[in-house]
Structure 1
């Protein structure tokens, strides 16, 4: 669902949909997050440290329409489901980690053939919607990105083969991650993660709103939105 932000010429940039996964290992004394560094020759955010993720493809949308598994929350809005699936696919391609359940992926599309080698079905019910952000105008590329959290306990397999898009993949505490060379939005989402980890009572079912970062043309905003299906109008 690519979009074009209209207005002045600097803002007329194609906005592509994307998804990022924040994998959190809570087994040790301090939670750790999986991050990688982008290549220096990449046009968008070169050398920056980011969470695994990438673009939402048309095949992700078609897959979401026929996917029979569960999402989290159970009433996740239909338009967000392709983002959750894309996040799982991109995590596998960039890190080799699988968030899935037993059972092969039937008749995978070209976009999903790499994931299909895992021999599993994606398990988006293990993801936790965390935030949404749209890249501000004036950037070389712009994305409408949904960020999801997932506990490392949900990793069902670890394959060594990756696409090499991220360098120096590693696990970092919140403090260590904060000291890396991060994009501004990654730093803001990192703060959101810290708040959630401090509020141990927040679960998939209790989080009613999440932050939405975007530019309204005059200022960068942080609003609260819902990731759930809107109730019918009386």
Structure 2
């Protein structure tokens, strides 16, 4: 999740942490797809009371798992440095929304890293996640994240589900127009626009192979540039 509004941090050396968000899209009504969103708690330091997509930090277990995980990603040549982001997105979606994007586990899943998936008998299936955008929180914020946004079809969600962990309130499905009326962070509003553009030009959110928007700030101000998800990434 990305913060693009006050409060400002007291110092400019706030650590940039890696994170991932998943935009689950329900195509039951192709003419009016809906997206899953939830509201953050009012007492949270980062983006209190804002509506966001499920997501969170990439942790050490995600990186360890990515080094040994040999199931396909989309695109299939997704840069190795981005694979932990895809796995983190799958994990965070399961934790925050109770939605499991996985396949039946055929071997011993690394239980110490993904106990909830192991208990359900599934292994994560990042092949169902399509990279959409990257954004880095501007300097001066109380939290800073280098976040990759992915999309996934609701049809990819397995039947095995669990209760959300309570990190997000009021989880619900919204059309693009309804989502834009929510109290959104600026970056979420921009990413919604990216989703809208891609839905107009592709079928069921198959965004593979396209150059992706990268939102960041440099000496010239806030920027939207295009990057590839198959090549080494610019440093934060």
**Does TM-score exceed 0.5, indicating one fold?**
yes
Residue in structure 1 matched with residue 51 of structure 2 by the alignment? 49
Residue equivalent to 2:140? 138
- Work out the CA distance in 2 between the residues paired with 1:22 and 1:105: 29
Matched with 1:40 is 42
Match of residue 101 from structure 1: 103
Post-superposition shift, 1:154?
A: 0.6
Match of 2:5 in 1: none
SS of alignment partner, residue 22 of structure 2: strand
Match of 1:13 in 2: 14
What's the offset of the Cα at 1:68? Answer: 1.3
Distance 1:181 1:62, change over 3 A: same
Paired with 2:59 and 2:145, the residues of 1 have a C-alpha distance of: 13
1:84 alignment counterpart:
86
Whether contact under 8 Å (1:99, 1:155) holds in the other structure is yes
* Deviates further, 221-230 or 155-164: 155-164
Which of 180, 183, 199 is residue 182 of structure 2 equivalent to?
A: 180
Relative to structure 1, the CA distance from residue 188 to residue 118 in structure 2 (aligned partners, 3 Å threshold; closer, same or farther) is same
What is the aligned partner in structure 2 of residue 148 from structure 1? 150
1:142-221 equivalences under 5 Å are 142-200=144-202, 203-207=206-210, 209-221=211-223
Distance across 2 between alignment mates of 1:221 and 1:153: 34
Which runs of no fewer than 5 residues in structure 2 stay unpaired? Answer: 1-9
8 Å CA contact 2:214, 2:225 repeated in 1: yes
1:27 aligns with 2:25: no
What displacement does 1:200 show?
2.3
C-alpha displacement of 1:112:
1.8
Higher relative contact order (CA 8 A, sep 6+): 2
Corresponding residue for residue 77 of structure 2:
75
Equivalent-residue separation in structure 2 for 1:44 and 1:90 (angstroms) = 17
1:105–1:120 Cα contact (<8 Å) kept: no
Is the Cα–Cα contact under 8 Å of residues 103 and 121 in structure 1 kept in the other structure? Answer: yes
Structure-2 residue corresponding to 1:5: none
C-alpha distance in 1 between matches for 2:207 and 2:51: 27
SS of the aligned residue for 2:114 comes to: helix
SS in 1 for 2:42: coil
Equivalent pairs, count:
222
Q: 1:110 to 1:217 in 2, by over 3 A?
A: farther
Output one character per residue of 1:87-140: Cα deviation in whole Å (capped at 9) or x when no partner.
Answer: 000000011101011126735354421332221011101110000000011111
TM-score normalised over the length of structure 1 = 0.89
Partner residue in 2 for 1:58: 60
Deviations 1:52-89 (A, max 9, x none): 00000011011000001000001000000000000000
Provide the C-alpha distance between the structure 1 equivalents of 2:119 and 2:139, rounded to a whole number of angstroms: 38
